[in-house]
């Protein structure tokens, strides 16, 4: 008996038991609050239906059982008609516990073998649970609770403004304390949403602030400072909220209908990724709430969390950034100078390299460019009575703090340098050597060296600073400006030209990662989901691209509604790739198989030499989905046929697999395409199209090695560690 059958039978048994219980208490039964009934679909969506949870390996029966029970919880959310609002909330709580467990496991290397399965389930379930929770919360809002929440939010802003005023006035001294008393700052600070005298205190404070115009010119100038204005504004806003009556009763049926439309639009987008469905989701994310007590705040937040998040995320570890900045150098120079009455000669060798130190900052990426080096010296100092040999092994660390906005690097603070001086004596020769006074002469020399050690070290430190800092101060700003110019004239200019400049870019840093999250978004489209959960990146870098960003870019190809030969499609793709790569790109003239051998055409295929002519659909001609570790390309197009009627629009989905074959090679293979049309299946036509598609996608091998050229420096050699396509995200990891 397979798993799906067992689950189905179990659910049937549950239904029979529930029905018997209802019959036995029919007399006492009162209809429950409907909650999400009639708002959610009657059946669980396909990708969270029971059989879609059957993804764990057969040898992991323990996790298969866990997956089954999770599947039943999801099914009950949609299909259990006996659950009232309270029962639905209890069910959502259980699902949130499952999600919390998966999130924790996705950060724990002990569960690495199950990360793909957890990622798939977490993404599918979390989107549904968050939206269902928002819908249920919206349906069960209490007008009094809404009023209290609004007051709490207004009071929090007032508290902040008053605290800033108190801090500023206490710096002034006793005069400031007098102003705090005059404007009743402490009374305002003591207010809570439960204060019975709140309206009286607020009205009194409002009158005092409005009366500032009657003060003397000197007092008026002081009392009109920004700190006072901020409190006055917060008092007015809080009083306005305080005087608002509780929200009126709302049309619950209209709200339920509106929520049902939102969820239907979301499920349509989840299934098809069509532009029309995306546009509907975008509209609801920005404007839902006509009939909701909270003006749609909760539902809009859930939609924005999963459908309007950043869709291009770059993460770089500190070690990776240091590798990119690395430029090891060694220089040597002779030493010949006079220091006081001593003639000093010898040699100096300086070795240094650049590294990056990340500084935690949640608001903007902050990093420290470090120049770490050693200076080794070997000198002989000659004075009238002695010849002193000295060795030096000194270190320095020059730093320049920078911020990165996602499009520009900026200098932050002045450069600094720390120098650690280590001079030591290697030999002492005096005129007394070989005489009875040799020991005395050496002791005097050692005493003289010790007496001047501080001065010697100070001179050494000063020389190193003078050697390092002028070049560091000039080169770092120059390199920053060159990099900014390269970004501005390269990628940013191209994005602007294509009207694809990100709507927003947010950067931040931890002590080990730099994260840049961009949102590429155009009118009528949606953006990204929450990024896939995973452990912190401790090496290399990753690029995460959501399918929404790729679909926006694919629409820029302008294939919609056009009739194009296969050659024309190929040529335009080559032009676009050349544009973005900044160099000429051509598809291989001849395909190769997994062994690198040329793929020969099928002599039995009578149409093998005929060029395909596409009639692209006017809507969604090309779409991608990143699901189940496959890149699913969907083409909506009809075909021209010589001497025959045109073939109607076919919906062709080609799944591509990316496998790390060995340490040097990625194997790219296509699964059997799915072919269908709106009018139904034509087996012969479908098979012919599948054959043609498979011929166009033979197994290919590509190198995992990458090389980044650097002007004036050695190239950076990188390797692709992993390539995955899960939960809407294509993730490339490199080292």
Q: In sequence order, what E strands does 282-438 have?
A: 312-317, 329-339, 342-359, 365-383, 386-404, 409-420, 423-430
- Helix/strand/coil for 70: helix
Q: Which two tokens stand for residue 464?
A: 């190193």
- Confidence (pLDDT) at 646: 87
- Confidence (pLDDT) at 595: 45
- Mean pLDDT across the chain: 87
- Confidence (pLDDT) at 689: 84
- Confidence (pLDDT) at 175: 85
Cross-strand partners of 531 = none
> Which residue is it, tokens 């929770």?
133
Q: Which two tokens stand for residue 725?
A: 């396509």
Q: Consecutive 10-residue runs of the chain (735 residues): their mean pLDDT?
A: 43 39 32 78 94 86 90 95 94 97 94 92 96 95 82 91 91 87 90 89 90 89 90 91 78 92 96 92 93 91 96 96 92 89 90 95 96 94 87 95 95 94 90 81 82 87 94 93 91 90 95 96 94 89 95 92 90 86 73 48 51 91 94 92 86 92 89 85 80 84 86 85 94 93
- Confidence (pLDDT) at 33: 67
Q: What is the 3-state secondary structure (H, E, C) of 595-651?
A: CCCECCCCCCCCCCCCCCEEEECCCCCEEEEEECCEEEEEEEEEECCCCCCCEEEEE
- Confidence (pLDDT) at 598: 52
- Confidence (pLDDT) at 588: 66
- Confidence (pLDDT) at 616: 94
Question: Rounded to the nearest 5°, which phi and psi values hold at 20?
Answer: -60, -40
Q: Are 11 and 44 in contact (CB under 8 A)?
A: no
- Confidence (pLDDT) at 681: 65
Question: Rounded to the nearest 5°, which phi and psi values hold at 389?
Answer: -95, 130
> Domain extents for the chain?
3-139, 144-242, 252-308, 321-488, 504-734
| C-alpha dist (Å) from residue 2 to 5, 72, 100, 354, 663 | 5, 15, 29, 60, 38
Q: Are 288 and 258 in contact (CB under 8 A)?
A: yes
Separation between Cα atoms, residue 580 and residue 567, nearest integer Å = 20
- Helix/strand/coil for 286: helix
Model confidence pLDDT, tens digit, residues 411-426? 988 999 999 999 998 9
pTM for this entry: 0.82
Model confidence pLDDT, tens digit, residues 273-304? 899 999 999 999 999 998 898 889 999 999 99
Core vs surface per residue 73-94: b (16+ CB within 10 A) or e: bbbbbbbbeebbbeebbebbee
Separation between Cα atoms, residue 351 and residue 329, nearest integer Å = 6
Picking from 528, 138, 139, 552, the residue whose alpha carbon sits closest to that of residue 304 is 528
């Amino acid at each position: 008996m397979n798993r799906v059958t067992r689950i189905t039978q179990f659910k049937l048994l549950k239904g029979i038991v529930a029905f018997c219980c209802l019959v036995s208490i029919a007399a006492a039964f009162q209809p429950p609050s409907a909650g999400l009934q009639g708002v959610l679909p009657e059946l669980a969506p396909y990708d969270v239906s029971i059989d879609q949870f059957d993804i764990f390996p057969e040898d992991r029966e323990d996790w298969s059982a866990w997956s089954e029970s999770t599947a039943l919880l999801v099914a009950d959310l949609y299909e259990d008609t006996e659950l009232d609002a309270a029962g639905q909330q209890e069910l959502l709580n259980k699902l949130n516990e499952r999600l919390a467990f998966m999130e924790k496991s996705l950060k724990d290397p002990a569960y690495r073998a199950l990360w793909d399965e957890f990622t798939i389930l977490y993404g599918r379930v979390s989107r549904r649970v968050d939206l269902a929770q928002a819908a249920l919360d919206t349906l069960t809002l209490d007008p009094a609770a809404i009023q209290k929440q609004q007051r709490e939010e207004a009071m929090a802003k007032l508290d902040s403004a008053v605290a800033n005023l108190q801090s500023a006035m206490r710096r002034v001294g006793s005069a400031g304390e007098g102003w705090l008393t005059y404007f009743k700052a402490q009374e305002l600070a003591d207010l809570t949403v439960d204060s019975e005298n709140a309206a009286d205190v607020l009205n009194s404070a409002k009158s005092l602030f409005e009366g500032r115009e009657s003060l003397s010119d000197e007092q008026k100038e002081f009392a009109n400072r920004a700190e006072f204005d901020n409190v006055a504004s917060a008092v007015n806003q809080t009083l306005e909220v305080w005087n608002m009556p509780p929200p009126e009763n709302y049309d619950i049926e209209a709200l339920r209908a509106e929520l049902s439309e939102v969820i239907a639009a979301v499920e349509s987008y989840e299934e098809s990724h069509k532009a029309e469905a995306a546009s509907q989701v975008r509209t609801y994310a920005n404007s839902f709430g006509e009939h909701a007590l909270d003006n749609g705040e909760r539902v809009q937040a859930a939609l924005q969390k999963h459908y309007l998040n950043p869709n291009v995320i770059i993460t770089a570890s500190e070690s990776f950034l240091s590798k990119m900045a690395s430029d090891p150098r060694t220089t040597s120079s002779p030493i010949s100078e006079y220091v006081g009455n001593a003639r000093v000669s010898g040699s100096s060798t300086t070795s240094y390299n650049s590294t990056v130190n990340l500084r935690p900052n949640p608001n903007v990426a902050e990093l420290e460019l470090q120049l770490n080096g050693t200076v080794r010296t070997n000198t002989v100092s000659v004075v009238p009575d002695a010849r002193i040999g000295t060795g030096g092994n000194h270190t320095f660390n020059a730093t320049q703090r920078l911020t990165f906005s996602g499009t520009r690097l900026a200098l932050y603070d002045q450069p600094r340098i720390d120098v650690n001086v280590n001079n030591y004596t290697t030999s002492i020769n005096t005129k007394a050597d070989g005489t009875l006074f040799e020991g005395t002469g050496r002791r005097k020399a050692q005493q003289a060296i010790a007496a001047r050690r501080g001065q010697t070290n100070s001179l050494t430190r000063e020389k190193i600073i003078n050697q390092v800092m002028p070049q560091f101060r000039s080169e770092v700003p120059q390199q920053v400006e060159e990099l900014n110019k390269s970004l501005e004239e390269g990628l940013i200019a191209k994005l602007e030209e294509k009207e694809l400049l990100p709507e927003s870019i947010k950067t931040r840093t931890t002590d080990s990662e730099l994260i840049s999250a961009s949102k590429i978004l155009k009118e009528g489209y949606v953006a990204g989901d929450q990024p896939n959960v995973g452990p912190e990146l401790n090496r290399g870098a990753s690029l995460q691209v959501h399918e929404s960003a790729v679909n926006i870019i694919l629409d820029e190809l302008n294939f919609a509604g056009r009739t194009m030969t296969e050659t024309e499609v190929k040529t335009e793709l080559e032009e676009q790739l050349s544009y973005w790569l900044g160099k000429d790109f051509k598809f291989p003239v001849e395909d190769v198989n997994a062994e690198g051998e040329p793929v020969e055409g099928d002599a039995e295929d009578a149409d093998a030499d005929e060029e395909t002519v596409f009639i692209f659909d006017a809507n969604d001609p090309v779409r991608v989905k990143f699901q189940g570790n496959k890149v699913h390309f969907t083409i909506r197009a009809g075909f021209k046929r010589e001497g025959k009627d045109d073939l109607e629009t076919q919906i062709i989905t080609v799944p591509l697999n990316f496998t790390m074959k060995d340490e040097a090679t990625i194997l790219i293979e296509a699964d059997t395409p799915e072919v269908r049309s709106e009018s139904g299946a034509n087996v012969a036509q479908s098979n012919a199209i599948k054959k043609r598609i498979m011929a166009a996608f033979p197994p290919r091998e590509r190198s995992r090695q990458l090389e980044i050229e650097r002007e004036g420096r050695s190239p950076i050699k990188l390797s692709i560690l992993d390539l995955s396509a899960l939960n809407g995200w294509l993730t490339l990891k490199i080292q």
